[in-house]
Structure 1
Amino acid sequence: MLIIKGKYLVASAEDIYIDYSLVVEGENIVELLPNSEAENKYPNVEVIDKSDSIIMPGFINGHMHQYGVLSRGIPANVEFKDFEGFLWDYWWPFIENRIGLKEVKATTKASAIELIESGVIGFCDTLEAPNTEEGTLIEQGKILEEIGMKAVLSLESCERISYDNGVKCLEENESLINWSRKNSKNIGGIMCTHTTFTCSDKFLKLAQEKANSLDAPWQFHLSESIYEVNHCLKDYGKRPVNYLNDLGLLNENVLASQCVKVDKNEIKILKEKGVKVVHMPLSNCEVGGGFAPIPDLLEAGVEVALGTDGYINDFFTVMKAAFLLHKASKEDASVMPANKVFQMATEYGAKVLGWNNTGKLVEGNKADFIIMEDKFKTPVTIDNIFDQIVVQGQKEFIHSVYIDGNPILKDRRLQGINKEEVSQDMRKVAEEFWKF
């Protein structure tokens, strides 16, 4: 048993306790108690006294590409002005088509460290590597299981190379899902396709059939830019959400990433069908995709999580972007309040990934929490705590990260993974990968 004393215990976006302790036994949260009562009720147990710090749920990254680390600064010498150019002239030929197991192993470890150090306890990853070796997802899962993180893994499948290649990738997802259910506690799988402009209706229906047969969720990118919208209007006479809905493909088991160019009618459909959404504010800027109508999605009641997309994995930077960008886009400083962004980063992240026992610090949930030291330049109060965390918070403030009650980061030291060795290996793999 373990008692963690805090100044502020942020159980959720709605519940904050002052001078409270989190009581943990094994993997689970046993109780939330005032600091003055915890040791009396549970004597002779280990106590971590952080009564000057903040205890809160660990962050959950709803969508990322771990392999994306490889692209940072890559000398592709290609110019692109829009999303279409980004994909066809840069990302597909220089990155995706060349990713294999070696690159996956290196980037899995390197990006996991980045996530942990910014307070992330779990994530959903989309590997985009149509030419990778068979069994790559399982090897990725083994690495993350050893590190101790929670993850939902997938291999993006489409017909960009060929129909047969797409089917092979779907089967890789199926293998990972079956493996994870038998061999892993915290690693799961999800069926995964790309978009309506790289997948025919036949292929999309096949993906859904496979997901249904496995009783697994299904994810895909949706309207990341105007490119997909224009494609659907030209080829099908419908916007992407309408097209997918008319095919009978939208339901509560669907996780849609991006949703930058969805209109009011599409938002209504997403809500009615129970589709979950993940928002990537920073990568939307990188590719010139635009500003996703996240305030409108939230107002409609759609559950929206936050993701890094593998672009910038510091979750505090992502939260700041989600808090700030939409105020400018809507010309309304009241949208995206800090407590809502915090909820997206924790509770909603858990919901969209189907994790019903995390995202909040409540009795019975898994002990997935972080300890954040109060190094803010101005006082933290019960009234400003979410603004301080979301807007002024820094990964350097993270003292410890616990997953299932186990310290993955303790006293700012990674547990069970050698950061220097991982960094050296990542650098070596990148140098080799960059030799075109």
Structure 2
Amino acid sequence: MPSMLILPEWLISVAPQPPLHYWGVRINDGVITHVAPNADLRQNFPNSTVLEAPRQVLSPGFVNAHTHLYGVLAHGLPLGKAPAGFWPFLHDFWWPMVEDRIDHDMLKAATAWQCVQMIKSGVTSFYDCLEGPHSLPGCLNVQAKIVERFGQRAFLSFETTERVSPENAQLGLRENADFIRERKRMGGLVQGLMCFHTTFTCGPEMIASAFDLASELDCLVHMHCSEGTYEPEQAVRNYGKRPIEYYADLGVAGNRMLASQCVQLSPHEVDLIADRGIRVAHMPLSNCEVGGGIAPVPELTARGAIVGLGTDSYIDNFFEVMRSAFLIHKAHRQDPAVMPAGLVWKMATLGGAQALNLNKVGCIQEGWQADLQLIDADFPTPDGEWNLYDQLILYRNPEHIRLVMTAGKTLYQAGQPAGWDESDLRRDLHLQANRLWEKARD
């Protein structure tokens, strides 16, 4: 297969560094081999296939550092009244009406739909956290087969919990461990990691077991952390310490730890996250949905913590997630200088890759993976290196995506057959959503 040149007007190499004007890339065997001015690439590689991209921006693909693929099934689920607070959201709605009802057929439909929506939103890599205690065993392999069909880079995990029973928790740990081993043996773009829920649904022995398995298998461990005030209050009541402090006392707070949400943190916990190398996934919009609060992301990034962005499968338009991260913290801090657009773009690309411990993903550099997207740059007002990040975050959406590729393979190209029939995927999703909703009404 011949090498390929992509020749855009703008190239984002390493956010938040200024973009490069009329620079492009050469790709061969799924890897970026050259990053150079467009004219030099044309001259030096005359036999390469050329993709002309005038008035377009070439950027690393987005990395969705936290989603729940099955979560789309709950969008619009009929409710008598909205849950009043974080604990009622979990105890009265999410657990009994969604998580506990998930089965394999629902997973297949939701995974296929969500993969397509992420691709159309520029997401080339993602981490999924499956919560469905009665979908065990075999649920991760069900998802993996669907993800492989669409070609993204992904980490899949099952969220182990003791809230159902100790036996169910052991099934969850085994699901993760078996999947991680099998995927490491197979290689490929779909891999696994270890996962458990929270300090209030998992005891210290189970948490230690998860980290022991992750050490043995050389992978990350994910957990939800302090999404609202409930978990910190419970941790102080039960353990005399806040969650991150509790993890530090258990001896597991380190760079193997991927903590999502991290909304209600104390200043000491912010320091612990930065000092211990704990990785964080920030979900600004879903934090609003559950009334959890606004995470101290400006403080975390100022301390040098690794922070990526995630959708939480609440609003899956990644540009909307970036806009929310760009704007919400300005309002909360009453400071328009916090969370500049270049930093947010970094969180959406390299930050997410670092949060997931992805190798050579999230930047456009020689020797790095060709996980890329092209975005239309016909903005309402003129663009330049001084405002390109702002223009992209404020004025772009999935309909402006022109190309998405992972490992050099084109997953989506505007104006070309997409490789899927979205009407079929929607019909399957409606069927499975109705099944879930019928169960919820029982």
For normalisation by structure 1, the TM-score amounts to 0.98
Shift of 1:417: 2.5
Q: Does the 8 A contact of 2:98 with 2:436 survive in 1?
A: no
Q: Secondary structure at the match of 1:225?
A: coil
Q: Amino acid of the residue matched to residue 183 of structure 1?
A: M
Shift of 1:27: 0.3
Q: Does the 8 A contact of 1:195 with 1:222 survive in 2?
A: yes
Partner of 1:97: 100
Trace 1:281-300 onto structure 2 (pairs within 5 A).
281-300=284-303
Is 1:6 the counterpart of 2:13? The answer is no
Among residues 323, 340, 344, which one is paired with 2:326 in the alignment?
A: 323
Is 1:120 the counterpart of 2:162? The answer is no
Partner of 2:309: 306
Q: Secondary structure at the match of 1:131?
A: helix
Measured in 1, the distance between the counterparts of 2:267 and 2:82 equals 33
Q: Which runs of 5+ in 1 are unaligned?
A: none
Shift of 1:45: 2.1
Q: Secondary structure at the match of 2:155?
A: strand
Shift of 1:10: 1.0
Measured in 2, the distance between the counterparts of 1:28 and 1:158 equals 39
Partner of 1:212: 215
Among residues 45, 48, 62, which one is paired with 1:42 in the alignment?
A: 45
Partner of 1:138: 141
Partner of 1:383: 386
Per-residue CA deviations over 1:40-71 (Å, capped at 9, x if unaligned) read: 11112211111221111000000010001000
Q: Secondary structure at the match of 1:188?
A: strand
Is 1:344 the counterpart of 2:330? The answer is no
Shift of 1:412: 4.8
Q: Amino acid of the residue matched to residue 430 of structure 2?
A: R
Is 1:201 the counterpart of 2:236? The answer is no
Q: Which segment is superposed worse, 31-40 or 145-154?
A: 31-40
Q: Does the 8 A contact of 1:138 with 1:179 survive in 2?
A: no
Measured in 2, the distance between the counterparts of 1:30 and 1:92 equals 47
Q: Does the 8 A contact of 1:376 with 1:388 survive in 2?
A: yes
Q: Secondary structure at the match of 1:181?
A: helix
Shift of 1:427: 1.2
Q: Which segment is superposed worse, 222-231 or 28-37?
A: 28-37
Partner of 1:333: 336
Measured in 1, the distance between the counterparts of 2:7 and 2:50 equals 7
Q: Secondary structure at the match of 2:107?
A: helix
Partner of 1:354: 357
Q: Does the 8 A contact of 1:323 with 1:391 survive in 2?
A: no
Shift of 1:414: 5.9
Measured in 2, the distance between the counterparts of 1:171 and 1:248 equals 22
Partner of 2:79: 76
Shift of 1:123: 0.4
Shift of 1:418: 2.3
Runs of 4+ residues over 6 Å off in structure 1: none
Measured in 1, the distance between the counterparts of 2:53 and 2:327 equals 30
Partner of 1:425: 428
Measured in 1, the distance between the counterparts of 2:136 and 2:109 equals 15
Q: Does the 8 A contact of 2:116 with 2:150 survive in 1?
A: no
Per-residue CA deviations over 1:336-361 (Å, capped at 9, x if unaligned) read: 00000000000011111111211000
Measured in 1, the distance between the counterparts of 2:389 and 2:245 equals 37
Partner of 1:180: 183
Shift of 1:78: 4.1
Measured in 2, the distance between the counterparts of 1:432 and 1:232 equals 37
Q: Amino acid of the residue matched to residue 161 of structure 1?
A: V
Is 1:106 the counterpart of 2:102? The answer is no
Structure with the larger RCO, 1 or 2 (CA within 8 Å, 6+ apart): 2
Per-residue CA deviations over 1:385-411 (Å, capped at 9, x if unaligned) read: 000111222111101101111110012
Per-residue CA deviations over 1:97-143 (Å, capped at 9, x if unaligned) read: 01011111111110111111110001000000011041110121121
Q: Does the 8 A contact of 1:3 with 1:24 survive in 2?
A: yes
Q: Secondary structure at the match of 1:435?
A: helix
Measured in 2, the distance between the counterparts of 1:36 and 1:215 equals 44
Q: Which segment is superposed worse, 92-101 or 143-152?
A: 143-152
Q: Secondary structure at the match of 2:133?
A: coil
Is 1:62 the counterpart of 2:62? The answer is no
Partner of 1:371: 374
C-alpha change, 1:422 and 1:432, in structure 2 (3 Å) is same
Q: Secondary structure at the match of 2:51?
A: strand
Per-residue CA deviations over 1:404-434 (Å, capped at 9, x if unaligned) read: 1111001254643222211111111111221
Equivalences, count: 436
Q: Does the 8 A contact of 1:78 with 1:90 survive in 2?
A: no
| CA-atom RMSD in angstroms | 1.1
Q: Does the 8 A contact of 1:30 with 1:364 survive in 2?
A: yes
Per-residue CA deviations over 1:191-241 (Å, capped at 9, x if unaligned) read: 000001001111111111111121121010010000001101111121111
Measured in 2, the distance between the counterparts of 1:413 and 1:90 equals 41
Q: Does the 8 A contact of 1:408 with 1:415 survive in 2?
A: yes
Q: Does the 8 A contact of 1:64 with 1:123 survive in 2?
A: yes
For normalisation by structure 2, the TM-score amounts to 0.97
Measured in 2, the distance between the counterparts of 1:369 and 1:69 equals 25
Is 1:24 the counterpart of 2:27? The answer is yes
Is 1:161 the counterpart of 2:170? The answer is no
Q: Amino acid of the residue matched to residue 7 of structure 2?
A: K
Q: Does the 8 A contact of 1:145 with 1:184 survive in 2?
A: no
C-alpha change, 1:121 and 1:284, in structure 2 (3 Å) is same
Measured in 2, the distance between the counterparts of 1:413 and 1:290 equals 42
